[in-house]
Structure formats: C-alpha cells, structure tokens
C-alpha cells in the first residue's frame, strides 16, 4: 500500500466507498419495496375483513350472509370459525397450515409453509356469550420477481459502476493533482538544468494548490535573486582582488628583470605596499561582510550612548580638528552593538573626508528627535548625482572608481552601513546635492529602560 501513489490510493478509496454506497442503496430499495408491499397488504386486509363482518350475521347458531357476498374478495380469504374454533364457512388456503390462535382486532404476519400471510381476526358477537370469529387471511405477495430483477440489474450495473467510478475518480484526482505535478516537475527541472529562472506559472486561483504554487514561485524568485546577488558578489570580489594582484605581479616582474635605480625601486615598493594595503582592506571588509551576513555580530545588542561612542571614536582616530566639527547631545541612548556602530560611524566619516573638496569640512552631529536617536555626518564635498543616489548602497558600486582608487575604496562601505543600520532596526537616509555636499543620517530607535 505504501508503494502506490496517493492518486491511486484516493481513487481506490473513492471506488470502495461508492461500491459500499451502491450495495447499501440496493439493500435499502429491497427493504423499502418489501415494506410498501406489506403495508398495502395490511390495508387491504383490514378494509376487506371489516366490510365482510358487516355482511355476515350469526344468530341462534345460524350463519347467514348478505346476497352476493363472497368468501374470497380482493385477494383476502374470509373464514368464519365457531367459538370452539371449528371452521364454519370459507375456504382455508392449502398452504396455510399454521395453528394461529385467535386475537381480536390484531393484524399479524404469519409464516405459512412457503408463503407469508397477514391475518386479522374480528369477534362477531350474536349474544352476550355467543358469537363467531371472522378471520381475514391474505397472502403477502413475495415480490420475488422484483427482488430477482433488482439483483440481476445490480449484478450487471455494479461492475460498470465500479469501472466508471474508478476511471472517473482517477481522472478527477489526476486533474486535481496536476498543479502538484507541475510544482514538482518545475522544481526537478530547476535542479537538473540549474536554471533558477523557471516558474510554475499557474494562473492565480483561490484553491490550496494555486496558493502553494504562488508561494513556490515567490520562493524561487527570491532564491534566484539571492543566488544572482551571490554570484555577482563573488565575481566582483574576485575582480577587485585580481586588479591589485596583477599590479603587484607586474611590478615584481619588472623589478626583477630591469635594473632599477634606488628611486625607482623605492617607487615600485611603495606601489606594491599600496596595492597590498588595498587587498588587506578588501579582505578585511569581505570578512566583516560575511560575518554580518551570518548575523554573528548582530547578537550583542545592549544600551549604547551614541554620543559617547562617536566622540571616543573621533578622538581616537585623531581627525584634523579644523576639518571635523562635532556636536553631541548628552544621553542619546540606543540599543546596539558598540563595535558595529563604531564601524558604521567610521565608514560615514571616512567617506565624508574622502569625497570632500580641498579645504572642505565635515560636521558630525548626535541628537535625539522624538523616539529616535540620530547620527548625522554632513560634508560640503563633491556630492552625489541624483541618479546615483540609489545605487551607492549596492555592494562594490562606486560613483567614480578612479577617485576611490586613490583612497583604497572598494565600494563596500555604504552597503555595510545600511546592513548594520537594518540589523539595529534602524534606517540610513541620504540628502545630497552634486557639487554642494552630502548628509548621511542614521536613525535608530531610542533605548527604553523597560524594554
Ligand atoms: P567606497 O569604498 O568607494 O568609498 P562606499 O560604499 O563607502 O565605497 O561608497 C560608495 C560610493 O558612494 C563611493 O564610491 C562614492 O562615490 C560615493 N560616496 C560615498 N560617500 C560619499 C560622500 N560623503 N560624498 C560623495 N560621494 C560619496
């Protein structure tokens, strides 16, 4: 049973149930037809026997009947018995051999030798103590022919019925299961062809299978997106690493082959150091990103005074004081991870300094507004063109790669900033005008004591 398909199992169940129902209906029809026959026989017996009693009289030991009275009417035999139960008039049917005691006014069914009878006795008194029994006796039609016919029809109809139920049931079940087959065929094809762009594509409906197919399609779409993003990320990361590696390789080969002057050698070594530094930074950032993706660093959320954190970081980094202006409101407490928030701040401040104009300024502000703690990093630098403002959050995206190149940028900083903000249940907004400057603001929910 375990090896057969669900479709076949359901079909078998349907067929079995329908067969039971069919047999039950046949039995029920037989029972009803017997009941109807019996009940009409009883009615006939009662009315005929009662009428007969009106046409029979017994007085002074003499039995008389009205003119034209017959002891056999409407299939009912009328028998008259003396008080001592000896037959006075009427013809007892041969097959009625039973010794049935007299019971006044009671209709009973009595089994004869091979036939059933319905019997009704009525006491016809002639005086206080004397009288006769009038017995009505009617053969109950056995309707054996009907029963036989019905059984014959059932015997022919049953196999046809079973066949039709099984085939019809199977077709219906197969039709109902088609979406499920489509789902599994699509999933299988996706696995075999490694093609994540396939979809089940069932027309929208309200039944369970349509909803399941839609859910799967959404899941496939998400899978495809994240798979593509992963592929892109790997490709970008390899590309970013390949560039400094080939520069270092080229420089080394040149240095080994050519007889360089001490100045040239110094220059080559400096270039190698710069590229190595860039690679180290990239690898470090990739590692942080992977950790962030895995969420391992996001677990330690505790109350953090944003002002104290930012102030400490800026003092520690020793940024030029005439370039960077800090304004901190006291007691802006948020729920967060100190290390991650420090990295976010550093990324924003470094960017503001990196993409500033010569002699430009950076303003860092920590304040609270309503239910939010805000960290704003504003500069009067080169700004970001409107059409690029959405793209800068993507991994490896750089507005002007040549400019970032000078400063070891790889285009991962802002995507990390956004990820850290989201991990804290916050958002980062950007307000920037090309040539005028940019303002990045982190909004985090304030720490509540009871929380
Ligand atoms: P990068 O390593 O290149 O700095 P980021 O992800 O930090 O990467 O930034 C992405 C891009 O956004 C940068 O290449 C730069 O073009 C632009 N950008 C970021 N911050 C600023 C800023 N304060 N002013 C102007 N442009 C910025």
Average pLDDT taken over every residue of the chain? 87
- Half-sphere CA count of 63, side-chain side, radius 13 A: 17
Q: Is 379 in the pocket of ligand 1 (CB under 6 A)?
A: yes
Please tell me the predicted confidence (pLDDT) of residue 299. 52
List the structure tokens of 283.
């690898």
| Alpha carbon of 199 to ligand 1 centroid (Å) | 37
Q: Provide CATH code, domain 298-445.
A: 3.30.565.10
Q: What pLDDT band is residue 296 in, cutting at 50, 70 and 90?
A: low
- Residues 217 and 225: beta-carbon distance below 8 Å: no
Q: Is 285 in the pocket of ligand 1 (CB under 6 A)?
A: no
User: pLDDT tens-digit profile of 215-232?
Assistant: 888 988 888 888 887 887
Ligand 1, atom 13: nearest CA belongs to which residue? 398
| Alpha carbon of 370 to ligand 1 centroid (Å) | 29
Whether residue 193 has pLDDT greater than 80: no
Identify the CA nearest to 169 among candidates 1, 5, 12, 3. 12
The span from the CA of 351 to the CA of 417, in Å, is 11
Q: Provide CATH code, domain 208-293.
A: 1.10.287.130
Q: Is 437 in the pocket of ligand 1 (CB under 6 A)?
A: no
Q: Which atom of ligand 1 is nearest to the CA of 416?
A: 6
Q: Which atom of ligand 1 is nearest to the CA of 408?
A: 2
| Alpha carbon of 342 to ligand 1 centroid (Å) | 18
Q: Which CATH number fits domain 6-145: 1.10.287, 3.40.50, 3.30.450, 3.40.1580?
A: 3.30.450
User: pLDDT tens-digit profile of 137-151?
Assistant: 998 876 667 778 888
State the pairing for strand pair 116-125/302-305. unpaired
- Residues 388 and 411: beta-carbon distance below 8 Å: no
Please tell me the predicted confidence (pLDDT) of residue 311. 94
Please tell me the predicted confidence (pLDDT) of residue 143. 66
Please tell me the predicted confidence (pLDDT) of residue 400. 79
Please tell me the predicted confidence (pLDDT) of residue 45. 94
Q: Helix 6-55 vs helix 144-193: angle between axes, to the nearest 10 degrees?
A: 160
User: pLDDT tens-digit profile of 231-251?
Assistant: 877 887 888 788 889 999 998
Q: Is 400 in the pocket of ligand 1 (CB under 6 A)?
A: yes
Q: What pLDDT band is residue 293 in, cutting at 50, 70 and 90?
A: confident
Q: Is 117 in the pocket of ligand 1 (CB under 6 A)?
A: no
Q: Is 419 in the pocket of ligand 1 (CB under 6 A)?
A: no
Ligand 1, atom 12: nearest CA belongs to which residue? 392
Q: Is 384 in the pocket of ligand 1 (CB under 6 A)?
A: yes
Q: Is 399 in the pocket of ligand 1 (CB under 6 A)?
A: yes
List the structure tokens of 47.
């009315």
The span from the CA of 215 to the CA of 208, in Å, is 10
Q: Is 382 in the pocket of ligand 1 (CB under 6 A)?
A: yes
What is the CA 186 to chain-centroid distance, rounded? 18
Q: Tell me phi and psi for residue 420, to 5 degrees.
A: -65, -45
| Alpha carbon of 317 to ligand 1 centroid (Å) | 20
| Alpha carbon of 393 to ligand 1 centroid (Å) | 9
Ligand 1, atom 25: nearest CA belongs to which residue? 383
Choose one of 404, 412, 430, 439 to mutate for the ligand 1 pocket test, by most ligand atoms within 8 angstroms of C-beta: 404
- Residues 74 and 83: beta-carbon distance below 8 Å: no
| Alpha carbon of 298 to ligand 1 centroid (Å) | 24
Burial of 48 (C-beta count, 10 Å sphere; 0-12/13-18/19+):
buried
List the structure tokens of 114.
């091979």
- Residues 438 and 424: beta-carbon distance below 8 Å: no
Q: Is 404 in the pocket of ligand 1 (CB under 6 A)?
A: yes
Q: Which atom of ligand 1 is nearest to the CA of 411?
A: 8
Q: Where are the domains of the chain?
A: 6-145, 208-293, 298-445
Query: What is the C-alpha R_g of the chain?
Result: 51
User: pLDDT tens-digit profile of 394-429?
Assistant: 888 888 776 655 566 788 899 989 989 998 999 999
| Alpha carbon of 299 to ligand 1 centroid (Å) | 28
Identify the CA nearest to 308 among candidates 335, 324, 325, 332. 332
Enclosing H/E stretch for 118: strand 116-125
Q: Whole-prediction pTM value?
A: 0.56
Q: Is 120 in the pocket of ligand 1 (CB under 6 A)?
A: no
User: pLDDT tens-digit profile of 305-358?
Assistant: 999 999 999 998 888 878 999 999 999 999 988 888 999 999 999 999 999 888
* DSSP code of residue 106: -
Please tell me the predicted confidence (pLDDT) of residue 291. 75
User: pLDDT tens-digit profile of 70-120?
Assistant: 999 989 999 999 988 889 999 888 888 778 899 999 999 887 666 788 999
Q: What pLDDT band is residue 363 in, cutting at 50, 70 and 90?
A: very high
- As a whole number, mean pLDDT of residues 192-201 equals 83
| Alpha carbon of 435 to ligand 1 centroid (Å) | 14
| Alpha carbon of 399 to ligand 1 centroid (Å) | 7
Q: Is 414 in the pocket of ligand 1 (CB under 6 A)?
A: yes
* Alpha helices in 128-261, H assignment, sequence order: 144-193, 208-257
């Amino acid at each position: 049973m375990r090896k057969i398909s669900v479709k076949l199992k359901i079909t078998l169940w349907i067929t079995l149930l329908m067969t039971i129902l069919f047999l039950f209906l046949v039995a029920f029809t037989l029972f009803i037809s017997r009941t109807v026959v019996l009940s009409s026989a009883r009615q006939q017996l009662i009315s005929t026997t009662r009428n007969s009693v009106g046409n029979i009289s017994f007085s002074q030991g003499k039995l008389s009947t009205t003119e034209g009275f017959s002891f056999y009417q409407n299939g009912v035999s009328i028998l008259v018995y003396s008080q001592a139960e000896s037959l006075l008039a009427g013809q007892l049917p041969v097959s009625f051999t039973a010794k049935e005691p007299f019971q006044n006014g009671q209709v009973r069914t009595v089994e004869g030798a091979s036939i059933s009878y319905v019997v009704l006795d009525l006491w016809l008194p002639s005086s206080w103590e004397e009288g006769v029994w009038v017995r009505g006796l009617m053969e109950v039609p056995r309707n054996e022919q009907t029963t036989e016919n019905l059984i014959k029809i059932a015997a022919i109809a049953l196999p046809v019925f079973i066949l039709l139920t099984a085939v019809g049931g199977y077709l219906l079940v197969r039709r109902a299961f088609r979406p499920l087959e489509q789902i599994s065929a699509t999933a299988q094809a996706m696995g075999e062809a490694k093609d994540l762009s396939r979809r089940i594509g069932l027309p929208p409906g309200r039944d369970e299978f349509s909803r399941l197919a839609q859910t799967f399609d959404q899941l496939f779409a998400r899978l495809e997106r994240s798979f593509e993003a992963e592929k892109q990320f790997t490709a970008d990361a390899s590309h970013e690493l390949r560039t400094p590696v080939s520069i270092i390789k080229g420089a080394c080969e040149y240095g080994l082959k050519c007889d360089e002057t001490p100045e040239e050698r110094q220059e080559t070594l400096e270039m190698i150091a710069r590229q190595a530094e860039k690679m180290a930074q990239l690898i470090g950032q990739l590692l942080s990103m992977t950790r962030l993706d895995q969420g391992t660093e996001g677990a330690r959320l505790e109350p953090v005074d944003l002002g104290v954190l930012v102030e400490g970081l800026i003092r520690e980094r020793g940024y030029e004081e005439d370039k960077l202006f800090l304004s901190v409101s006291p007691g802006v407490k948020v729920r967060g991870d100190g290390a991650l928030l420090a990295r976010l701040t550093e990324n924003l401040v470094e960017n503001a300094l990196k993409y500033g104009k010569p002699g430009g300024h950076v303003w860092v502000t920590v304040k609270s507004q309503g239910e939010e703690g805000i960290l704003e990093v504003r500069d009067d630098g080169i700004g970001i063109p409107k059409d690029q403002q959405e793209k800068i959050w993507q991994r490896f995206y750089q507005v002007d790669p040549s400019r970032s190149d000078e400063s070891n940028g790889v285009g991962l900083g802002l995507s990390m900033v956004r990820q850290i903000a989201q991990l804290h249940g916050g958002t980062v907004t950007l307000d920037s005008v090309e040539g005028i400057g940019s303002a990045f603001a982190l909004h985090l929910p304030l720490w509540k004591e009871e929380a």
